[in-house]
Homo-oligomer: A and B are copies of this chain.
């Protein structure tokens, strides 16, 4: 088999795949090099450091997540879009836990970091999904943070085997999405000014 020429992109892809296999925390330069059939130092011809690799994987992950959500919500709206988008998100994380972990660890390195637009695209998708509920503008940001929190939390706990009870996790997820859908439909939740 012709082993294609290595490029930063192909190395990143291989690194992402490896992270999904062995877990992000077990990804090492040595392991990736071995997987690619080269010696560890040779990796540095394609990627400047492990941090660079991790960052590239994060961008890849964010981009793919954005694609997955876009594809899933294509042509849908309202509750349908929410359900489809949320399911797509969870499915993506289940299929690519290593990438997702990389995405969670990464932080933009500067104002031109491609990670920023990639992340914004995902956030924009969530915002678009929420727009169908015609929330009060002042509540949109809160709803968005709530949505991100549940989805991220659920995906993270699931990935960490946090749901032990013998009750279908799939069922819990759809229940969760329904719960949120109903809440959003119920509309304005007047945040009490008396907090803390």
Interface residues of A in 133-164 (CB under 8 A from B): 139, 141-143, 145-146, 148-154, 156-157, 160-163
Q: Which residues of B contact A156 (CB under 8 A)?
A: 104, 152-153, 156
Whether A176 contacts B195 by the Cβ 8 Å rule is: no
**Known contacts A141-B167, A146-B175, A150-B146; is A189 also within 8 Å of B182 by CB?**
yes
In the complex, A171→B192 CA distance in Å? 9
Interface of A is mostly: helix
In the complex, A178→B162 CA distance in Å? 25
Residue ranges of A at the interface with B (Cβ–Cβ < 8 Å): 87, 104, 107, 139, 141-143, 145-146, 148-154, 156-157, 160-163, 165, 167, 169-172, 174-176, 178-180, 182-183, 186-187, 189-192, 195-196
A and B contact pairs by CB, cutoff 8 A, 28 listed: A107-B160, A139-B175, A141-B167, A142-B175, A143-B179, A145-B154, A145-B157, A145-B163, A145-B172, A146-B179, A148-B153, A149-B153, A149-B176, A150-B150, A153-B153, A153-B154, A156-B156, A170-B196, A174-B196, A175-B189, A175-B191, A178-B189, A178-B190, A179-B187, A179-B189, A182-B186, A183-B183, A183-B186
